[in-house]
Amino acid sequence: MNKKLFALLIALMSLALLGIIFIQGYWIRNSYQQKKDQFSFNARQILLHVAEKVRNREVEDYYNVYNSLLDSIEAPENVSITELIYTIRNNDNNETIIYTDRISEEDFKLSSSFLDSELDSVQFKKIINSKKTQRFSDGVDGGAGTKSTVESFKRLPEYEKKQFESAVKNISAKLPIHKRVTKEEIESLLKKGVSERGLDANFEFAVYSKSLATRVRSQDFELDPETTYLVPLFGEEEDGNNYNLYVNFFDKQKQVLSSILGMAVLSLAFTSVIIIAYASALSQIFKQRQISQIKSDFINNMTHEFKTPIATINLALDAMKNPKITDNKEYLERYLKMIRDENRRMHAQVENVLRISKLEKNELDLPKERIKLHDIVEDAISHVSLIMEDRQGYIKTHFGALKSSILANPSHFENVVVNILDNAIKYSEEPPKIDIYTENVKNSIILKIRDQGLGMSKSTQKKIFEKFYREHTGDIHNVKGHGLGLAYVQRILKDHDADIYVESEKNKGSTFIIKVHLIS
C-alpha cells in the first residue's frame, strides 16, 4: 500500500475513533447535566409542596378553631349578598326556567382572647352558596299553568379559608416559629415528597429567619451551596421575619451519578473495546508492515548472498574450460576448492532457512544424549578456525566449570555455538577477539561467549532474537545476513530448556550467556 494512502487511512481511522470518544464523552456529560437539573427541579418542587402544606395546615388549624365559635354567635355583623339570575324560555313546550345563583357572605367579629395574640378580634366570613331553579309551564288553551321550585344550600369552606388567610397571617406572625411548625412535621412531609418523586435521597433541613438558624432543624444540617435548596416557608410577612426552609440533599452527587452509572459504564466499556480493538488492529498493521519490510530486506540479502557464490562458481567453471587451467593441477585444485566452498556456503544458507521453517512447524526432531559442553564448544571452534586465521583473530577458552555434562542434541547445540561465534566474527571490524568462559552455578553450567566487536544498543538487544531482525545503519546493512541465526539459536535452546541472555554496549562488544541444566 502507498505510504501516503496508508497514512491517510490511519489518520481517518484515528479521527473517527476520537469522534466516537468525543461523542460518548459529550453524551455522558449531557446526561449527567440533565439528571442534575432534573434532581434540582424535583427537589424544588418537593420544597414548594412542603411549604404549601405547612401554610395550608396552619390556616386549617385557625379556621377550625374560629369555625367552631360561630354557633355561639346569634347574628352576623353584616351580610352581603351577590345574586345572579338568568332565564331560559322553551317555546316547544311553553316552559320558562329561572336559575338563581346566590352567594351570601356573613361577616362575624370573633374574639381572639383565647389565642396568644395582640389583636382584640378577628374578622371571619361565612360564605354560603344557594342555588334555586324555578320552572313555569303555561296551561293549554289559557288554562292554569304549573310551577316547581328546587333549592339547594352549600357552604364554601375553601373560599372561607382563603378569605381568612390574611387574618391568620396577622395572628401567626406574632408567634415563634417552633409554635407554628415542628421539626417532625417538616421531616414527615419531606420524606413523603422524596418518596413520591422517587429521589431516594438522604437529606437534612433547617428553618432560617433573616439568615439566622432557628430551633426547627435536623441534627446534622450543614449549609452547602452545592446541595442545599431553599423556599420561603410562609411568604412575605408584615414583621419581616421571612422564614426560609433550607434542605440539604447531601448525597445529591451520588444519586445523580447512580442514575446514569449503568449506561455510562456500558458506554465506556464498549468504547474501551473499540479503542483496544483499534490499538490491536493498528499494532498488527504496523507489525505486518514491519514484517513485510524485513522480509523484503531478507529476500534482498539472500539474493545478494546467492548471487555472489553463483557468480563465483560460474567464473570458476568458465576458467576451468581453459586448456591452460585444465593442464595445471594446482589451479584446477584451487578452482575446485572455490566451487566446493561456495557450494557449501549456499547449502548452509538453505539449511538455515529450512531449520527455521521446520522449527515453526514443530517438525524438527531433536533426539538428545549425554554430551560434554566443553567438547561441543571445542568442535564449534574448529568450524570457524580457518575464518579466524584469515581474519588474524583469536578464540580463547577459559573453562572454569568442573562439571559440563548436559542432555542435548550434539548437532544442533553445536550449531548454536557456531552461530554465536559466527556473529562475533562478522560484527568485529578489527581482528576478532573472542573469549569463552564456563562456570558451574548450582545445578547448571553457564557458558559465556564474549567478543570485542561493535556491540549493540539497548533497543537492539530486545529484538535480536526475533526472526528476520537485523540492526540497521541508515538504509544499509553493514554486515550481510538475513536475521535467522539468533532466532534459530533461541528456538533450539528453548527446546533444551535452556536460557540465553545478552549483555552489550555500543562499540564495546557483546557477551552471550547460555544457562543449561547439568545431568549427573
Could you tell me whether strands 121-137 and 228-232 are parallel, antiparallel, or unpaired per DSSP bridges? unpaired
312 and 213 within one domain: no
Instruction: Answer whether residue 43 shows pLDDT above 70.
Output: yes
Band of the pLDDT at 439, cuts 50, 70, 90? very high
Does residue 449 sit within a domain? yes
430 and 446 within one domain: yes
Asked if residues 480 and 407 have their Cβ atoms less than 8 Å apart, the reply is: no
85 and 33 within one domain: no
188 and 163 within one domain: no
Nearest to 400 by CA among 419, 376, 370, 373: 373
187 and 148 within one domain: no
Final residue before a domain boundary, out of 139, 172, 205: 172
Instruction: Answer whether residue 474 shows pLDDT above 50.
Output: no
416 and 506 within one domain: yes
- Which of 53-67, 113-127, 136-150, 343-357 is predicted least confidently? 113-127
Asked if residues 467 and 460 have their Cβ atoms less than 8 Å apart, the reply is: no
Instruction: Answer whether residue 424 shows pLDDT above 80.
Output: yes
200 φψ region: left (φ > 0), alpha (ψ -120 to 50), beta (else): left
56 and 112 within one domain: no
271 and 410 within one domain: no
**Number of domains composing the chain:** 4
Domain that holds residue 315: 255-345
For the ranges 230-234, 253-257, 364-368, 384-388, the one whose mean pLDDT is highest? 230-234
Does residue 14 sit within a domain? yes
User: Largest alpha-carbon pair distance within the chain?
Assistant: 170
Other beta carbons within 10 angstroms of residue 332's beta carbon come to: 14
Asked if residues 485 and 305 have their Cβ atoms less than 8 Å apart, the reply is: no
pTM (2 decimals)?
Answer: 0.48
- The reported pLDDT for the residue numbered 95 is 84
Alpha helix locations (H) across 328-402? 329-360, 373-391
Cell, residue 103: 352567594
Cell, residue 212: 439566622
381 and 335 within one domain: no
57 and 89 within one domain: no
What integer is the mean pLDDT of 373-378?
93
Does residue 37 sit within a domain? yes
